Amino acid sequence: MAYPKVKFSMIPLKLELDLFYFFLFKHSWGWGKNIIKRHPKLEPIMRIKKEADRKAFLKKYALDYYKKNKGQLVSQMKKDETAWRKLEKEFMHILPQIIETDWPKNRKNIRAMVSAIPICPRFLDTWKFTICGLWQEGSAIEVIMHEICHFLYFKKLEETFPNVDKKTFNRPRLEWHLSEILAPVILGGPRVQKILRREPDFYLEHQKIKIGKISAPLFFQKMYDEHLENKTSFEDFLKESYREIKVHRKLFRF
């Protein structure tokens, strides 16, 4: 079965700057602190009031940083690509079987863009995502699998719910929350674990949510385990998961 190949490249500078700015100043979960921790010389930017001055500061920092560290990022990108190639074929063959939908015939490539930002957004329209070039290969492999899972997952979601609004696929909508919980749930399943061999990460924000007496990730994990044990279709599991998160929608309004 043909599948899209992951192509690795450095992230374009403009997109890098846009993402730096978004996560520092516009992300309501406060993820900017993760960037400051990785890039402590950026800390003064948080005291700058004017947007234009912030962006000028950020651009100068990014240009200086890449001048000094691009070689390290490129080197890590090559290591990540080498590690991924060893797993790509097997993962890309089993994922459609797990989610029960084929790869789009018109999608030849998926783009992994190496970034200096320790946050990895995905872009569903273009099938692109970022990976942090400051991490070790194990983390990068999980991110690659996680983001690829999103692409096929949302294809299945549209097939299952043809009238779903694509605007809900992004934060902070309920459909986005469900996708960010189910992606690591799927990666934690036995077929993927034979390849990944590490426990996938859930957002800390989701781990803090309690459905009954257990965390939201564990709640949906148990549903997934039952789906595998009972050999129900992924479509049925998806429908049940969607119903459940709607029942508990008030817990995800943050």
What are the boundaries of each domain within the chain? 5-136, 157-252
The tens digit of pLDDT for each residue in 8-41 reads 999 999 999 999 999 999 988 889 999 999 999 9
Angle at 178 (CA atoms; ends 174, 183), nearest 5 degrees: 150
What is the C-alpha separation between 176 and 168, in angstroms, rounded?
6
Contact by Cβ (8 Å): 138, 120 = no
Contact by Cβ (8 Å): 156, 224 = no
CA atoms within 13 A on the CB side of 104: 17
User: How far, rounded to the nearest angstrom, does the alpha carbon of residue 80 sit from its chain's CA centroid?
Assistant: 16
Q: Which helix (H) or strand (E) holds 109?
A: strand 109-115
What is the C-alpha separation between 115 and 138, in angstroms, rounded?
16
pLDDT in tens, the chain (254 residues): 799 999 999 999 999 999 999 999 998 888 999 999 999 999 999 999 999 999 999 999 999 999 999 999 999 999 999 999 999 999 999 999 999 999 999 999 999 999 999 999 999 999 999 999 998 667 899 999 999 999 999 999 999 999 999 999 999 999 999 999 999 999 999 999 999 999 999 999 999 999 999 999 999 999 999 999 999 999 999 999 999 999 999 999 87
